[in-house]
Structure 1
């Protein structure tokens, strides 16, 4: 009889594989056609009024803001975007067996589309791929709401309770999910390598995760086109384009 020899159990004193934590911001998705917010050509710099579309108070109290928000979702590139070389490099590192956790400020879902398991992605600001009713809390696919917008409903309401619908993202004026943030803090403290990529590290509390990781002994690497407030804590700062720099960097961490 032929067969595969049984695998010997790993010794109890086997070395722990270093944990790589990756904090991603809008800059990682620009190569996928999604504009960033605070860069030289960022959305907020091009149209300061656009910030109102993702501010909770304006959104809830002004039907015209909601209608503009739905048009932005319908016409925007986020839901049509595909992962780029940087997203794929992270997924490739995770598949190699290196312990990887992604903490993202993005709401585009591109890490998961690239192949990173959902359980290994912490979406600090929620997801634009789901709709949330502010009345009853029901969730549904964003695609269904956008079908209603395309059919002529400029501000679709919840089909269950009639409440105001919004994307399941954290708007300005809303609190981050404390459970998600708490897990992100734990990951930052445990990380051996902490890579901040495509983020200005200006939005708190997400930005503080970089400093927290460095304080707990992680090797902090910042990959961003412009300087950040945490550059002095970094072991390495990389200014070259993310689509080239991140795959090269992560290749050095693979087995």
Structure 2
């Protein structure tokens, strides 16, 4: 059911939250746009101006690795300045209240952790851009170290342990999804009674399968997104309004 207006949608959402014992949010880029983090996929987004670099190209091409890191450092002021928005803070309030056991996110910006979620309770399907990892042995690296190497040598760094390339700890096109994150997301979706899909276009698979998984396991499904999605018709409630305005009333609850 599509909410006829924002006040009625917020009221219905509030009733569902009050009735739920276990709420699992699933967040996409839309929850972070009010924080200054651009949406990669929408018209005018970063990927309409810069072609994404697939994982196999990153691995095989030193030039591609250098370009990937150049783009990341160009975005550093944006990521560094971002603070959790009303949506992040509202979900963190519900988390502190014991309503949310953990959160599933497609985002890579670390804002859920900054809002108050424990790192272990943020299931990152697409990784995290605030640090780096070796694609071989998994050794973690601080971005400050990567940038110093990049500026000194003019190229992307290799791992000091196994000499494999170092990239942001994100999941690129063509890269395998993180097994543990997928396992935890599946478990959360199957055992909640309210699933909130927030700010996601629900077109990126396999992540987009979690709302329907929750619905098929008996959860009520709410979709909060400015634009229609292909799963709207099966949702119990659809709120097509600004995420900050929709979730703002739940900050501090």
What is the TM-score with the length of structure 2 in the denominator? 0.85
In the TM superposition, residue 180 of structure 1 has moved relative to its aligned partner by: 1.5
Equivalent residues, number: 233
In the TM superposition, residue 195 of structure 1 has moved relative to its aligned partner by: 0.5
Task: Answer whether contact 2:130 2:143 (CA < 8 A) is retained.
Answer: yes
Partner of 1:26: 29
Does 32-41 or 18-27 show the bigger shift? 32-41
For 2:220 and 2:207, locate their aligned partners in 1 and report how far apart those are by CA, in whole Å.
18
In the TM superposition, residue 251 of structure 1 has moved relative to its aligned partner by: 6.1
Could you tell me which runs of 5 or more consecutive residues in structure 1 were left unpaired when the two chains were aligned. Answer: 1-15
After TM superposition, the structure 1 = structure 2 runs for residues 131-210 of structure 1, keeping only pairs within 5 Å, are 131-151=132-152, 153-210=154-211
For 1:25 and 1:95, locate their aligned partners in 2 and report how far apart those are by CA, in whole Å.
21
Partner of 1:67: 66
| Higher alpha-carbon Rg | 1
After TM superposition, the structure 1 = structure 2 runs for residues 1-255 of structure 1, keeping only pairs within 5 Å, are 18-44=21-47, 46-47=48-49, 49-52=50-53, 55-76=54-75, 77-151=78-152, 153-248=154-249, 250=250, 254=253
Task: Answer whether contact 2:150 2:157 (CA < 8 A) is retained.
Answer: yes
For 1:230 and 1:115, locate their aligned partners in 2 and report how far apart those are by CA, in whole Å.
29
What is the TM-score with the length of structure 1 in the denominator? 0.84
In the TM superposition, residue 79 of structure 1 has moved relative to its aligned partner by: 4.1
Structure number having the greater helix percentage: 2
Task: Answer whether contact 2:199 2:243 (CA < 8 A) is retained.
Answer: yes
For 1:152 and 1:178, locate their aligned partners in 2 and report how far apart those are by CA, in whole Å.
34
SS in 2 for 1:50: coil
CA distance 1:64–1:139, change in 2 (3 Å): same
Partner of 2:8: none
Could you tell me which runs of 5 or more consecutive residues in structure 2 were left unpaired when the two chains were aligned. Answer: 1-18
For 1:231 and 1:24, locate their aligned partners in 2 and report how far apart those are by CA, in whole Å.
16
